[in-house]
Amino acid sequence: MGKVYYISKNVSLGILVLAAIALATIIALSIAYDKERAKNRGKPGDGGTGGSSTSPPPTTHFTPKEPWDRYRLPDSLVPVSYNVTLWPRLEPNTDGLYIFTGNSKVVFSCVKETDLIIIHCNKLNLTTFSGHHAKLSGLSEAAAPSIQKSWLVEKTAYLVLRLHSSLTVGATYVLHTEFQGELADDLEGFYRSEYTEDGVKKVVATSQMQATYARKAFPCFDEPALKAVFNVIIIHSRGTVALSNSRDIDSAESVIDGVPVKVTTFEPTKRMSTYLLAFIVSDFVSIQSNQNNNLLIRIWARKKAIDDRQGDYALNVTGPILQFYERYYNATYPLSKSDQIALPDFNAGAMENWGLVTYRETALLYDPILSSTGNKERITTVISHELAHMWFGNLVTLQWWNDLWLNEGFASYVEYLGADYAEPTWNMKDQIVLYDVHKVFAVDALASSHPLSRRAEEVNDPSQISEMFNTISYSKGAAVLRMLSEFLTEPVFARGLSSYLNTFAFGNTVYTDLHICVAVQNTQGMQIPDTVHNIMNRWTLQMGFPVVTVDTSTGTINQKHFLLDPESVVDRPSEFNYMWFVPIKWMKSGVEQQLYWLLEKSASGQEWVLLNTNMSGYFRVNYDLGNWDRLLSLLNTNHQALSVINRAQIIDDAFNLARAKIVSTTLALRTTKYLSKERDYIPWESALRNLDYYLLMFDRTEVYGAFQAYLKKQIQPLFEHFKTITENWTKVPTGHTDQYNQINAIGVACNTGVESCRDLIKTWYRQWMENPNQNPIHPNLKGTVYCRAIAFGGVEEWEFAWEMFKNATLASEAARLRSALACTKAPWLLNRYLEYSLDPAKIRKQDATSTIQSIARNVVGMPLAWNFVRARWSYIFQQYGEGSFSFSSLISGVTQRFSTEFELQELKQFKEDNLHVGFGSATLALEQAIEKTTANIRWVTENKAHVLKWLTEEST
Ligand SMILES: *[C@@H]1O[C@H](CO)[C@@H](O)[C@H](O)[C@H]1NC(C)=O
Ligand SMILES: *[C@@H]1O[C@H](CO)[C@@H](O)[C@H](O)[C@H]1NC(C)=O
Ligand SMILES: *[C@@H]1O[C@H](CO)[C@@H](O)[C@H](O)[C@H]1NC(C)=O
Ligand SMILES: *[C@@H]1O[C@H](CO)[C@@H](O)[C@H](O)[C@H]1NC(C)=O
């Protein structure tokens, strides 16, 4: 799946400097978990639907469990192929229900003697044949045992058949079922998505099978290792088009049950897993190209989006990205076509169904006039991520979900390589440091983190499987695989991949198979201290990562498990005692040195030393003060002697080491002194993310003045730089990341009171107000400009934005405006906006909590939002508490500035006062808020005086 927990880049830039701070990431992670939990809890009727007997035969034993009480299928039966016919109805039936009907024949062989057939089946009403839920026969009319009894098990989602006698080992059978299911709007299995075009409501039937929802579309052996060939037929109304994983080979008009229909037959699929199936019926249209050796490449979307040419960009990059992977993997694209489709309702960001990839509209459709550079980059990386899976994940699939990190971590790493090939001028490969490595460091530095890899037995039921889709799997997986590729070198890694993909094509693997394939390719005899397997196990089987400390005066180097909170206690034991084999790339006096392996301790040189060049290893670095001084003075005199990544890393390491009390806060602040000379995005972004915590802690204190003055001094040259290169703001910088840094420059300059910045923004916004049909603001800058213009303006500016919000037709434009409306400094407007947020006629229900959070980001809005949430808690909880994705972040968002004893008391009082109401999915967030407030109080007490003194000295 694409990144479900995608934290958007360059979107927020709200009131404060930036959005994505370490804390935000931590919160995002806990939301992700909460969401999964909420999802799984919010399904009371999970399992079979009524209509058939759902109670198993009476069982009195508690142990051993019956096989149908276990979440994993028994290993006695193996599917070979399925013939599946599905007929979704895009109009409701007389009961007002959207349904689909279908039938399936699964051919399977018996590999262990058994008189039970257990197959997944969820929420399907099965037709009975002589009282049983299925028919069984031997292949080609051979005999099969007769069915004694059949029943459904809701909890484990099984159809169970008990036979009169055993199946014969080595024989092949056919199980035939007929069923009816609901085409619900639940975004799972075979579901429906609705949208309006020209005032007409349209319905699309589409699917999301990963991880455990194929069983909701037809009875199947729904585990990734049980691959089979699928012969799919879709029946659909005339005037619609049916898509599936393979190419259609026939489409005939017919009349079934008196209904005129089309019957579309697809060529047999390759041998594949059920979770990668896709079925879609819509009236979408497509654009196509055949540029890759006659491979059919199509982009599908709503007609209006295609007419507006919103699919062109995706089509342009797909061919090159597929070519890149063919070369990189040394393996041709395994299928005869590549379809990608943008859906109006979609839970994840995207899903890598083999040959028919599904996307959220924002992840596939690019509008050349209205979309920003950030939108475009997201499309490129998401496409690159999903297409990487066409081989890694789809052609070769992991045995079980416990190894999900390898699948998603891998795609999260190579997505940057594919995107770099498609857009070579964007420096995509550097960005992994900001968007994956630094992001996951924040989460993995907590005592509550967990290892990448889990044992297969620990992951059984659907909620345990869902939990695997988290930041650790995606981003740490990416960082660790990148490190493997860096120390073995890219050619060795790529040859290993190629051998892995060719050896296991159409099969399944466990993560150690990749280690073996990669290790075998290390024929050049790259010196490594142990086997690839043993080195990698230290990174995959224990959580966290080390901080490597080098003392250049004594020549010692050591490693220690890095924990952000020095007072936290790790209660998860590790067989490796939190020691890693650390591959260290390093530089001395600007010269790259031979790779050094830190196993325990060692020696080093005198001159300035820089460790972990280009952040190629997954660890943080600390130095003796002498070396820190040398690095800081290098930054101040000749920062370009270090790569952008290393500049960003020095800043990020120093700030995080300071949070962990390993170095002083002043040392961290000193890494930002050279920024007045910095023009590159990655170091600036890294600094602003880290300074955001300071801003939150101090923007209501006397430190704020000095903080603003210092930041203003640092940002001014950057602002002038962009003014010059954009010829007085009339052009867009050509460099991709320069466009992002221009947003930072304007945002920070305006916030810190750079006069010409304010004038610029006011002028743009005024021009737009005078001529609403002619927005002069570049899409890249809209979010930033709207927010500042509303902050500087009054009721008129606010009302204008409100009108524009109500009329916005593009979802991303509406989102920008909704967030900017929270930027006003007028308390009465903020209070009114808080009221609006709970009025579904004004703010869609799904956006309510995030609107309140935007208001709380605003220093003026924070106390108003807190009072509002406290006063309305029981109403908010009843209306928005259950099943809402963002609910838990409401508490974390509103309390993120809390740093006084008084606020801590208020928070505790709030908890006590509302115990009878409850906190639902925000329960954990409330506990965390209390914990974080306590930590903030401590941090502010310890650091405020030093910070104020340093900033005061530096800002004059
Ligand atoms: C499945 O469909 C294929 C193609 O139409 C056909 O050749 C095959 O016999 C069918 N299998 C079963 C078990 O009906
Ligand atoms: C399945 O059967 C139950 C009980 O008869 C009925 O309530 C439900 O609507 C049926 N579902 C579908 C999709 O037909
Ligand atoms: C797609 O490629 C064509 C041909 O190179 C180019 O003219 C067009 O501008 C591109 N479209 C987008 C949206 O990038
Ligand atoms: C690619 O694969 C072919 C055959 O499978 C092999 O002969 C060739 O050496 C491989 N090339 C690389 C660069 O691995």
Give the model confidence (pLDDT) of 623-676 as tens digits: 999 999 999 999 999 999 999 999 999 999 999 999 999 999 999 999 999 999
Are 119 and 217 in the same domain? yes
**Among 247-256, 514-523, 853-862, 876-885, which is the least confidently predicted range?**
876-885
Last residue of a domain, one of 625, 650, 679: 679
Q: Residue 186's pLDDT is what?
A: 80
Task: Indicate whether residue 521 lines ligand 4 (CB < 6 A).
Answer: no
Strand order in the sheet with 546-551: 556-561, 546-551, 620-623
Q: Residue 168's pLDDT is what?
A: 94
Structural domain for 632, as ranges: 545-679
Spatial separation of the C-alpha atoms in residues 494 and 521, rounded to whole Å: 9
Are 98 and 216 in the same domain? yes
Last residue of a domain, one of 283, 306, 327: 283
Spatial separation of the C-alpha atoms in residues 496 and 501, rounded to whole Å: 9
What average pLDDT does this structure show over 897-904?
96
Q: Residue 886's pLDDT is what?
A: 63
Are 804 and 925 in the same domain? no
At 462, is the pLDDT very low, low, confident or very high (cuts 50, 70, 90)? Answer: confident
Express each pLDDT in 149-173 by its tens digit: 999 999 999 999 999 999 999 999 9
Spatial separation of the C-alpha atoms in residues 592 and 538, rounded to whole Å: 26
| CATH at 256 | 2.60.40.1730
Q: Is pLDDT above 70 for 694?
A: yes
For the CA of 498, the nearest atom of ligand 4: 14
Residue ID of nearest Cα to ligand 4 atom 12: 330
Spatial separation of the C-alpha atoms in residues 5 and 14, rounded to whole Å: 20
Q: What number of other Cβ atoms are within 10 A of residue 436's Cβ?
A: 24
Residue 719 maps to a domain:
yes
386 carries an active-site annotation: yes
At 882, is the pLDDT very low, low, confident or very high (cuts 50, 70, 90)? Answer: low
Q: Residue 309's pLDDT is what?
A: 92
Spatial separation of the C-alpha atoms in residues 577 and 593, rounded to whole Å: 29
- Neighbouring residues of 1: CB distance < 8 A, sequence distance ≥ 6: 210, 348, 349, 350, 351, 352, 408, 469
Q: Is pLDDT above 70 for 54?
A: no
CB 287 within 8 A of CB 256: no
d(CA 132, ligand 1 centre) in Å:
23
Per DSSP, the three-state class of 354 is: coil
Phi, psi of 297 (to 5 degrees): -115, 125
What is the number of the ligand closest to the CA of 317?
3
Q: Which residue, 797, 846, 845, is CA-closest to 821?
A: 797
Are 726 and 606 in the same domain? no
Residue 407 maps to a domain:
no
Q: What number of other Cβ atoms are within 10 A of residue 717's Cβ?
A: 14
Ligand 1 binding site (Cβ under 6 Å of any ligand atom): 83, 105, 107, 174, 231
Q: Which residue, 265, 281, 299, 344, is CA-closest to 88?
A: 281
**How much is the CA Rg of the chain, to the nearest whole Å?**
29
Question: What percentage of residues in the chain have a pLDDT greater than 70?
Answer: 91
Last residue of a domain, one of 804, 824, 844: 824
Q: Which residue out of 80, 83, 232 has the highest number of ligand 1 atoms within 8 Å of its CB and is therefore the one to mutate? A: 83
Spatial separation of the C-alpha atoms in residues 782 and 372, rounded to whole Å: 9
What is the separation of C-alpha 812 from the centre of its chain, rounded to a whole number of angstroms? 18
Count of domains forming the chain: 4
Q: Residue 53's pLDDT is what?
A: 34
For the CA of 494, the nearest atom of ligand 4: 14
Express each pLDDT in 94-127 by its tens digit: 999 999 999 999 999 999 999 999 999 999 999 9
Express each pLDDT in 201-213 by its tens digit: 899 999 999 999 9
d(CA 261, ligand 1 centre) in Å:
22
Spatial separation of the C-alpha atoms in residues 87 and 403, rounded to whole Å: 35
Spatial separation of the C-alpha atoms in residues 718 and 679, rounded to whole Å: 6
Count CA within 13 A, CB hemisphere, residue 128: 12
Q: Residue 14's pLDDT is what?
A: 30
| CATH at 720 | 1.25.50.20
**Among 172-176, 311-315, 468-472, 731-735, which is the least confidently predicted range?**
468-472
Cα–Cα–Cα angle for 868, 871, 872, rounded to 5 degrees: 85
Q: Residue 59's pLDDT is what?
A: 43
**Among 155-169, 675-689, 759-773, 874-888, which is the least confidently predicted range?**
874-888
Q: Residue 636's pLDDT is what?
A: 95
Residue whose pair of structure tokens reads 């005129």 in the numeric block: 260
What is Dmax (Cα atoms) for the chain?
92
Residue 527 maps to a domain:
no
Q: Is pLDDT above 50 for 51?
A: no
d(CA 525, ligand 4 centre) in Å:
20
Q: Is pLDDT above 50 for 823?
A: yes
Instruction: Indicate the annotated binding residues for Zn(2+).
Output: 385, 389, 408
Task: Write down the catalytic residue from 386, 415, 685, 903.
Answer: 386
Residue ID of nearest Cα to ligand 4 atom 1: 330
Q: What number of other Cβ atoms are within 10 A of residue 808's Cβ?
A: 15
How far, in Å, are 414, 661, 888 from residue 318 at the CA level? 15, 47, 37
* DSSP state letter for 473: I
Are 711 and 782 in the same domain? yes
What average pLDDT does this structure show over 492-507?
94
CB 854 within 8 A of CB 846: no
Task: Indicate whether residue 316 lines ligand 3 (CB < 6 A).
Answer: yes
Residue 880 is which amino acid? Y
Residue ID of nearest Cα to ligand 1 atom 8: 83
Spatial separation of the C-alpha atoms in residues 847 and 516, rounded to whole Å: 48
- Cis, peptide link before residue 447, omega less than 30° from 0: no
Q: Is pLDDT above 50 for 20?
A: no
d(CA 373, ligand 3 centre) in Å:
15
**Among 313-322, 594-603, 611-620, 859-868, which is the least confidently predicted range?**
594-603
Are 639 and 734 in the same domain? no
Tokens (6 digits) for 576: 């490796």
Task: Indicate whether residue 498 lines ligand 4 (CB < 6 A).
Answer: yes
Residue 105 is which amino acid? K
* DSSP state letter for 617: S
Residue 288 maps to a domain:
no
- Neighbouring residues of 842: CB distance < 8 A, sequence distance ≥ 6: 836
Express each pLDDT in 404-446 by its tens digit: 999 999 999 999 999 999 999 999 999 999 999 999 998 899 8
d(CA 228, ligand 2 centre) in Å:
29
What average pLDDT does this structure show over 255-259?
94
Residue length of the chain? 956
Q: Residue 589's pLDDT is what?
A: 81
CB 82 within 8 A of CB 105: yes
- Angle at which helices 887-894 and 22-41 pack, to 10 degrees? 150
What is the number of the ligand closest to the CA of 376?
3
Mean pLDDT for the chain?
89
Task: Indicate whether residue 313 lines ligand 3 (CB < 6 A).
Answer: yes
β-partners of residue 784 are none
What is the number of the ligand closest to the CA of 314?
3
DSSP 630-665: HHHHHHHHHGGGS-HHHHHHHHHHHHHHHHTTSS-H
Q: Is pLDDT above 70 for 388?
A: yes
Q: Residue 370's pLDDT is what?
A: 84
Express each pLDDT in 804-819 by its tens digit: 998 887 777 888 999 9
Residue 200 maps to a domain:
yes
Residue 298 maps to a domain:
no
Instruction: Indicate the annotated binding residues.
Output: 385, 389, 408
Spatial separation of the C-alpha atoms in residues 605 and 265, rounded to whole Å: 69
Spatial separation of the C-alpha atoms in residues 924 and 268, rounded to whole Å: 48
CB 524 within 8 A of CB 493: no
Task: Indicate whether residue 299 lines ligand 3 (CB < 6 A).
Answer: no
d(CA 583, ligand 2 centre) in Å:
59
Spatial separation of the C-alpha atoms in residues 539 and 532, rounded to whole Å: 11
Q: Is pLDDT above 70 for 90?
A: yes
Express each pLDDT in 73-87 by its tens digit: 999 999 999 999 999
Residue 423 maps to a domain:
no
pTM for the whole thing?
A: 0.88
DSSP 179-226: EEEE--SSSSEEEEEEEEETTEEEEEEEEE-TTTTGGGTS-B--STT-
* DSSP state letter for 532: H
Cα–Cα–Cα angle for 423, 427, 430, rounded to 5 degrees: 135
- Neighbouring residues of 914: CB distance < 8 A, sequence distance ≥ 6: 873, 874, 877
At 524, is the pLDDT very low, low, confident or very high (cuts 50, 70, 90)? Answer: low
Are 790 and 816 in the same domain? yes
Are 661 and 760 in the same domain? no
Q: Is pLDDT above 60 for 740?
A: yes
Spatial separation of the C-alpha atoms in residues 260 and 252, rounded to whole Å: 11
Residue whose pair of structure tokens reads 């040189």 in the numeric block: 605
For the CA of 330, the nearest atom of ligand 4: 1
Are 792 and 884 in the same domain? no
Per DSSP, the three-state class of 530 is: coil
Are 174 and 228 in the same domain? yes
Q: What number of other Cβ atoms are within 10 A of residue 554's Cβ?
A: 10
Residue 555 maps to a domain:
yes
Ligand 2 binding site (Cβ under 6 Å of any ligand atom): 49-51, 99, 125, 180-182
Residue ID of nearest Cα to ligand 1 atom 4: 231
Are 791 and 857 in the same domain? no
At 27, is the pLDDT very low, low, confident or very high (cuts 50, 70, 90)? Answer: very low
Are 275 and 183 in the same domain? yes
| CATH at 590 | 2.60.40.1910
What average pLDDT does this structure show over 511-520?
89
Q: Residue 52's pLDDT is what?
A: 33
**Residue spans of alpha helices (H) in 42-138:** none
